[in-house]
Amino acid sequence: MNSIVDKLYVLSRSQKFRNLIVQFVFLIFVGLFVYYLISKALQLDITLSHFVSRAGFGISHTFLVDYSSNDSRWFAYFTGVVNTIRMCIVGIILATILGTIMGVARLSKNIFFSTLSYLYVEILRNTPLLIQIIFWQIVFLQLPRISEAITFSDTVVISNRGILLPYASSVENGYGNLWITIVVISLITSLFISFYINKREDIHGKIYKIYNYKLSGNIAGIIIFFIIVLISYFILQKPYAIDLPNLYQNDKGTYLQSGGFEFTPEFGAILFALVMYTGTFITEIVRGSIQSLPKGQTEAAQAIGLSNYQTMTLIILPQALRSIIPPLTNQYLNLTKNSSLSVVIAYPELFMVSRTIMNNSGHALPVFFLILLTYLSLSLIISIVMNIFNRRVTRIGA
């Protein structure tokens, strides 16, 4: 029996054993803490059952969604998600364009362009995004007031209530959604057809001919798309009509505006702030990636007589793209997450709408989980898309 005590003694002197004990105790505490949190959470109402009840509040920006306060909280939340996605898609596209242009300009031999890009990056990257959002809100509010709104023969209205542009709106004959579906399907179909024809020509050297004229895949796709869209438009009794902006005075003489596609100062402010801010980081990514390429690439391109523009678009950027994509994905994710700052200037994206729901219902915890889950899904979708794109870019280069 002496051996047990001896063994215990040896164990107690062993560093490994003591570490194990410490870790075990730590694990128990963590476990207890998690258990405490879960048991607390279970006492609360963690279901989202209250989301089926009437929302009861209005939402100022309803894009592609026909929301009214009589709808459920789920639908209000969905409206917020649509507003977030709308902001992110437009923001990501514009930030990428701005960042690429500025990144190239930063390396320009032209002092004006390189200084402009330098100042842009250093000023906007080093000021808080929140301040920039409020700044742009104030800037957009300086547009003419509605009583002094600028109109161009009833097709465009510009005021600080929003810039209104002509748009399409569905006529109430019930075929609107059907027609949109047909448009989307025909777009996909015609893309496939044009890809097929082009591939057939490029790879197999076979050409379709109509009366001795070569049939190009692009033209075939465009023609097929428009034929299907136009025919279905008339068959479905013109489900969409042009919606012109309207600036009018009510019977009290007060100006109001409605109709058309609305570009509001709130959307504009948050979009500008996000694009300008994220653009600075993309500028640096583009600049760094271009600089990482060997100088010989540029020199070789110039040696075979390519212009500066051709050198950039055909030689430099395609190669730089391989090291641009991974950090660019991070910036897209940042833009998406930063869009939740819209809450300060009255743009109803998903965080603002869900906070309103939270305040009205009093159930904070499950709503917060829903918000987290939604942002997580958005981020993962962006990551997946960018990873697919990244794989494509690296494969072509290899």
Partner 1 sequence: MKNFRFILVLLSVMSIGLFSACGSDTETITETVEVIKEVEVEKPSTLETVLNRGTLKCGVNDNLTGFGVLTAAGTFEGFDVDYCKAVAAAILGDASKVEYVPLTASARFEALGAGEIDLLIRNTTWTASRDRDLANDFTATTFYDGQGMMVYADSGYQTIEDMEGATVCVLQGTTTELNLDDRFTSAGLDYTPLTFETNDPLQAAFEEKRCDGWTTDKSGLASKRAEFPATAGGPESLTVLAETLSKEPLGPLTRDNDSQFYDVVQWVVFGLIQAEESGITSANVAAMAANPTDPGMARLLGVPFAGGEVADFQFGVDATFIQHAIKAVGNYGEIYERHLTPLGLTRSGSLNAQWTDGGLIYAPPFR
Residue ranges in contact with partner 1 by CB under 8 A: 1-2, 4-5, 56-60, 68-70, 134, 137-138, 141-142, 145-147, 160-161, 250, 252-254, 256, 258, 265-266, 343-346, 348, 352, 355-356, 358-360
Task: Map tokens 């300060």 to a residue.
Answer: 344
Residue 253 or 296: the one with the smaller Cβ distance to partner 1 is 253
- CA–CA distance, 327 with 44 (Å, rounded to integer): 41
Residue 220 or 247: the one with the smaller Cβ distance to partner 1 is 247
Least separation in angstroms between residue 152's CB and partner 1 is 21
DSSP string, 160-189: TTEEEE-EEEE-TTS-HHHHHHHHHHHHHH
Closest by CA to 168, choosing from 237, 109, 238, 86, is 238
Would you call 330 exposed, middle or buried from its count of C-beta atoms within 10 A (0-12, 13-18, 19+)? middle
- CA–CA distance, 345 with 272 (Å, rounded to integer): 13
Least separation in angstroms between residue 341's CB and partner 1 is 10
Residue 246 or 383: the one with the smaller Cβ distance to partner 1 is 246
- Let me know the angle formed at the C-alpha of 158 by 154 and 163, rounded to the nearest 5 degrees: 100
- CA–CA distance, 95 with 98 (Å, rounded to integer): 5
Q: Is 152 helix (H, G, I), strand (E, B) or coil?
A: strand
Q: Which two tokens stand for residue 214?
A: 């070569």
Whether residue 47 contacts residue 367, with contact meaning beta carbons closer than 8 Å, is answered with no
- CA–CA distance, 228 with 234 (Å, rounded to integer): 10
Residue 216 or 246: the one with the smaller Cβ distance to partner 1 is 246
Least separation in angstroms between residue 125's CB and partner 1 is 24
Residue 256 or 381: the one with the smaller Cβ distance to partner 1 is 256
Least separation in angstroms between residue 104's CB and partner 1 is 36
Residue 70 or 126: the one with the smaller Cβ distance to partner 1 is 70
Whether residue 44 contacts residue 21, with contact meaning beta carbons closer than 8 Å, is answered with no
Q: Is 257 helix (H, G, I), strand (E, B) or coil?
A: strand
Closest by CA to 267, choosing from 78, 62, 69, is 62
Residue 47 or 70: the one with the smaller Cβ distance to partner 1 is 70
The residues with which 169 forms a beta bridge, in sequence order, are 241
Residue 323 or 342: the one with the smaller Cβ distance to partner 1 is 342
Least separation in angstroms between residue 290's CB and partner 1 is 40
Residue 43 or 70: the one with the smaller Cβ distance to partner 1 is 70
- CA–CA distance, 93 with 275 (Å, rounded to integer): 9
The 8-class DSSP code of residue 53 comes to: S
Least separation in angstroms between residue 255's CB and partner 1 is 9
Least separation in angstroms between residue 173's CB and partner 1 is 22
Q: Which two tokens stand for residue 335?
A: 């833009």
Least separation in angstroms between residue 258's CB and partner 1 is 6
Which residues have C-beta within 8 Å of that of residue 243, sequence separation ≥ 6?
Answer: 166, 167, 168, 169, 259, 260, 261
Whether residue 275 contacts residue 119, with contact meaning beta carbons closer than 8 Å, is answered with no
Residue 76 or 290: the one with the smaller Cβ distance to partner 1 is 76
Least separation in angstroms between residue 247's CB and partner 1 is 12
Least separation in angstroms between residue 220's CB and partner 1 is 45
